[in-house]
C-alpha cells in the first residue's frame, strides 16, 4: 500500500498516478481513464474502458473433455449466468438429444434468455440487480405464500411455480453479489451486506427445496413453525441488531428442538434454519462492531 498526499489548485484536487502503474497500463498524455465509485465508497481508477456489459464469455469443450453429464452442463450454465457478462456461449463436444434439451430447459426454468441448440448453449443478457435486499424480502414472502398453499388442497403446479420464483430470486441475488464484488459497481449496499444477503438467500432457497418434497404428514408438522420463523426473519431484517437476532435465534431453536432428526428432510430443514440464525447473528455483530467506529 502506498499513501500519497492530495494537492489542490484553486477548486481542483489532484493526485499523481504511480509511474509504474502508468507504464504497465501504457498511460499517455491523451489516455482516457475510467473513474467509478465502488459500493464501499472508494474511488476506482481503471485504464480498461470495457465494462462488464461489454464482456462476452465462450466456453468450448473439445472431444478430450469426456462426456458432459447434463448435471455438469447445468452447473456451467448457472456459473456463466451468475458472472457479469453481456452474453455467453457454451460449445459442447457432441450434440445433445432433444430429450436432454427439454430436461435442461426444465432445470433452467428460473433463468430467462438461455437458449439451447443442438451442440451449444447461449445466452444474451444484460440483467443486473441493484436492490438484492428488496429481492431477499420478496423471496421470503414468496416462501410464506408457498407454505400457505402447501397447507391447502391447491394444485401442486402452484407450489412448483412458487419454488421456481424462489430459485430465480436466489439466482438474481447471487448474480448481483458476484457482479458487485468483481467490478465494484456503484450500489447502495456495501460488500459485507451483499455477502450476508447472498448467504441468507442460499439457505432460504435450500429450505424451499426441502419443504416442497415433504409428505402431507410432514408438511402438517413443519409448515406452521417454519411459517412463523420466516415471519420473524422479516421483522429481524428490518431491525437487524444483536438483540433482534438473539430473539430470532431463540425462536428458531425452540422450533428445531422439536424436529425429528431421523427424517432426512427435517434434518436438513433444521440445519438450514440454524444457518439462517448464524448468518443473522454474524451480520448483527458486524453492524455492532461498525457502530463503534
Q: Which CATH number fits the domain that encloses residue 258?
A: 1.20.58
Q: Which residue has the cell 465494484?
A: 184
Residues 230, 178, single domain; the answer is yes
Note whether residue 2 is domain-resident.
no
The answer to whether 174 touches 82, Cβ cutoff 8 Å, is yes
pTM: 0.74
Residues 15, 68, single domain; the answer is no
Partners of 42 in the β-ladder: none
Residues 32, 169, single domain; the answer is no
Residues 198, 279, single domain; the answer is yes
100-159: pLDDT as tens digits: 665 666 556 556 567 777 778 887 765 667 789 999 999 999 999 999 888 886 677 888
Extended beta strands in the chain, E state: 7-9, 12-14, 34-37, 43-46, 56-60, 87-91, 114-116, 120-124
Residues 164, 276, single domain; the answer is yes
Residues 146, 255, single domain; the answer is yes
Partners of 59 in the β-ladder: 90
Residues 36, 105, single domain; the answer is no
Residues 136, 262, single domain; the answer is yes
Q: Please count the structural domains in the chain.
A: 3
Note whether residue 218 is domain-resident.
yes
Note whether residue 30 is domain-resident.
yes
pLDDT (0 to 100) of residue 230: 94
Note whether residue 190 is domain-resident.
yes
CA-closest candidate to residue 202, choices 177, 224, 231: 177
The answer to whether 122 touches 90, Cβ cutoff 8 Å, is yes
54-106: pLDDT as tens digits: 678 899 887 666 667 777 888 888 888 888 777 888 888 777 766 666 566 65
Residues 138, 261, single domain; the answer is yes
Amino acid at each position: 500500500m502506498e499513501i500519497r498526499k492530495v494537492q489542490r489548485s484553486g477548486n481542483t484536487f489532484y493526485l499523481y498516478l504511480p509511474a509504474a502503474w502508468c507504464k504497465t497500463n501504457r498511460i499517455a498524455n491523451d489516455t482516457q481513464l475510467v473513474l467509478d465509485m465502488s459500493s464501499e465508497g472508494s474511488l476506482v481508477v481503471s485504464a480498461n474502458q470495457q465494462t462488464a456489459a461489454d464482456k462476452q464469455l465462450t466456453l468450448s469443450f473439445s472431444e478430450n473433455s469426456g462426456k458432459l453429464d447434463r448435471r455438469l452442463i447445468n452447473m456451467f450454465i448457472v456459473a456463466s449466468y451468475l458472472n457479469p457478462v453481456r452474453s455467453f456461449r457454451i460449445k459442447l463436444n457432441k450434440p445433445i438429444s432433444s430429450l436432454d434439451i427439454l430436461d435442461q430447459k426444465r432445470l433452467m426454468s428460473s433463468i430467462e434468455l438461455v437458449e439451447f441448440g443442438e451442440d451449444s448453449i447461449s445466452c444474451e443478457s444484460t440483467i443486473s440487480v441493484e436492490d438484492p435486499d428488496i429481492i431477499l424480502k420478496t423471496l421470503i414472502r414468496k416462501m410464506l405464500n408457498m407454505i400457505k398453499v402447501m397447507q391447502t388442497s391447491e394444485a401442486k403446479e402452484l407450489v412448483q411455480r412458487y419454488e421456481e420464483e424462489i430459485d430465480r430470486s436466489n439466482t438474481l441475488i447471487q448474480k448481483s453479489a458476484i457482479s458487485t464484488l468483481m467490478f465494484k459497481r456503484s450500489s447502495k449496499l456495501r460488500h459485507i451486506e451483499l455477502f450476508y444477503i447472498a448467504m441468507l438467500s442460499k439457505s432460504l432457497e435450500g429450505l424451499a427445496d426441502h419443504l416442497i418434497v415433504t409428505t402431507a404428514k410432514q408438511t402438517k408438522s413443519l409448515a406452521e413453525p417454519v411459517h412463523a420463523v420466516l415471519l420473524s426473519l422479516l421483522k429481524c431484517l428490518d431491525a437487524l441488531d444483536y438483540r433482534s437476532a438473539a430473539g430470532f435465534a431463540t425462536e428458531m431453536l425452540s422450533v428445531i428442538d422439536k424436529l425429528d432428526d431421523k427424517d432426512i428432510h427435517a434434518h436438513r430443514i433444521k440445519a438450514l434454519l440454524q444457518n439462517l440464525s448464524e448468518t443473522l447473528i454474524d451480520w448483527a455483530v458486524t453492524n455492532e462492531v461498525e457502530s463503534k467506529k
